Structure 1
Amino acid sequence: MNTKENKVNYQPLLIFGGVIGIFFAFWVYLIASKNPFIKIFDTAIYNSIKNNNPVERQLTFYWTQLGNTLTITAFTVILVLFLVYQHNYVHAVFASLTMIAANACNSIIKNIIQRQRPRMDKAVHADGFSFPSGHSVGSMTLALVLIALIVVLVKKKPLKYWLIAVCVFFTLSIGFTRMYLHVHWPSDVLGGWCEGLAFSCLASWIFFRVLDKKQEKEKKE
């Protein structure tokens, strides 16, 4: 898998990641200060999601397990080991450090904000504080890490686009399950997505820049 043919215009990632990071910081402030807008935002979306169908609830419960900490961690470890096996060491460092940084930041923010979860059904159990949604952070960060890797490692465009679509669907669907099961407020999920997006974009910018410098150095040699 040769990355030389997949030239990437990565510069916009720095700006986009910075903008999302600023928005996320503002969102954290709104949550921490218990701004009335957050209650309006959450109530409007929360009340519009109907989860009365027991079959749908069960299927959603199974699907949301794909975004839990254990599953995301296991997949990340397998991914990193595969990249190391393929001698893609820069890629492996990028994937591992991005996932570690995003989830560590999420844990810190959770324990600082200490937001309580919505009132949950007895059939659904979730530990810890509510904001930001760990499932949303983990799935978004993993999805964008995979997209960055797909962009540089997959040559065939149809396959590349299909894989990217699967990644996008994965993180959006995981976030939706958290709201559908009423284990997170919508603002928790949006915050998690923004956090994961900001970390991934900034990390991807560094990743693509390192690859670019590496390729320039190889050309000179």
Structure 2
Amino acid sequence: MNRLLDLAKGLKDDKQSLLTVVLIGVLALSIWAFVAIASEMREGELVRFDRGVFLSLREAGNPDRLLGPAWLEEAAMEITALGGFPVIGLLIAMVVGGLLSARLSGTALFVVLAISGGSALSSLLKLLFGRPRPDLVPHLDVIHTASFPSGHATISTLTYLTLAALVARVVTRKRVRAYLIGCAVALALIIGASRIYLGVHWPSDVLAGWALGTAWAAFSFIVLSILQIRRRGAGAREKD
């Protein structure tokens, strides 16, 4: 019986270790993508790409007019708000409140540190790069900061991936887990796309934001996984 319990524990640890390896791969790939985009942006290699994608969403010869029906602009403004600090802040406050009421203070602290840390990093990088906002068309949303990387893309990717992954950890069915992660990814994608559509970010800003948000979410869960593995190891040693 003891051997079966040891085997089951080993399989669980192997799964945790495999997840950590996968997260490290995601982290490395996301960091590489961000660095590559940032390097190309600074060297001016993305001007043609950015302008091409940007203007493809506007009427030819009249970039002040968006392509698509009138309601699409209003929808984009409502969607883009899902990645803004007021909505994200309110969402996190409700999630943290629920976790605290369930006496999951450790998870609540993880959510706060992960998302606030990613937000701080995004703001710091904006100051570091200091890229001006697009000036080809009027901005259809209020802006206060520099352009690179997109804060909305970064924070929405980080927040929704983190929350989806936390819920997925307690879900047993793989399809449900995949659905949760898929919804988080889709939400981050449409929020980032809305920033380009509204004329407040270059496409490379958003691509870099997606990469940065994914990297920080992966990093946060790597730290969480390592802490959990160490805690289980310490618990096992105390029992021995």
TM-score (norm 2): 0.80
Three-state SS of the structure 1 residue aligned to 2:141 is: coil
Aligned counterparts, 1:65-76, within 5 A: 65-76=81-92
Alignment CA distance shift 1:122-1:23 (3 Å): closer
Shift of 1:117: 1.1
Q: Indicate if the aligned counterparts of 1:91 and 1:207 stay in contact, CA closer than 8 A.
A: no
Distance 1:26 1:20 in 2: 10
Distance 2:127 2:44 in 1: 22
Distance 1:19 1:133 in 2: 19
Match of 2:212 in 1: 195
**Is the counterpart of residue 93 in structure 1 residue 109 in structure 2?**
yes
Q: Indicate if the aligned counterparts of 1:18 and 1:202 stay in contact, CA closer than 8 A.
A: no
Higher-RCO chain (CA-CA 8 Å, sequence separation at least 6): 1
Alignment CA distance shift 1:17-1:122 (3 Å): closer
Q: Indicate if the aligned counterparts of 2:153 and 2:210 stay in contact, CA closer than 8 A.
A: yes
- Greater mean deviation of Cα atoms: 39-48 or 56-65: 39-48
Structure 1 unaligned regions, length at least 5: none
**Is the counterpart of residue 42 in structure 1 residue 50 in structure 2?**
yes
Match of 1:20 among 19, 30, 46: 30
Match of 2:141 among 117, 124, 142: 124
CA shift digits 1:90-141 (9 cap, x unpaired):
3222211111111111111112222111134365332221111110011010
Q: Indicate if the aligned counterparts of 1:14 and 1:205 stay in contact, CA closer than 8 A.
A: yes
Shift of 1:153: 1.9
Distance 1:16 1:87 in 2: 31
Distance 2:159 2:141 in 1: 25
Shift of 1:216: 4.2
- Greater mean deviation of Cα atoms: 124-133 or 57-66: 124-133
**Is the counterpart of residue 115 in structure 1 residue 131 in structure 2?**
yes
Three-state SS of the structure 2 residue aligned to 1:154 is: coil
**Is the counterpart of residue 154 in structure 1 residue 179 in structure 2?**
no
> Of the two, which has the highest radius of gyration?
2
- Give the total of aligned pairs: 216
- Greater mean deviation of Cα atoms: 195-204 or 111-120: 111-120
Alignment CA distance shift 1:170-1:126 (3 Å): same
Distance 2:230 2:115 in 1: 23
Alignment CA distance shift 1:201-1:150 (3 Å): same
Alignment CA distance shift 1:44-1:208 (3 Å): same
TM-score (norm 1): 0.86
Distance 1:46 1:122 in 2: 12
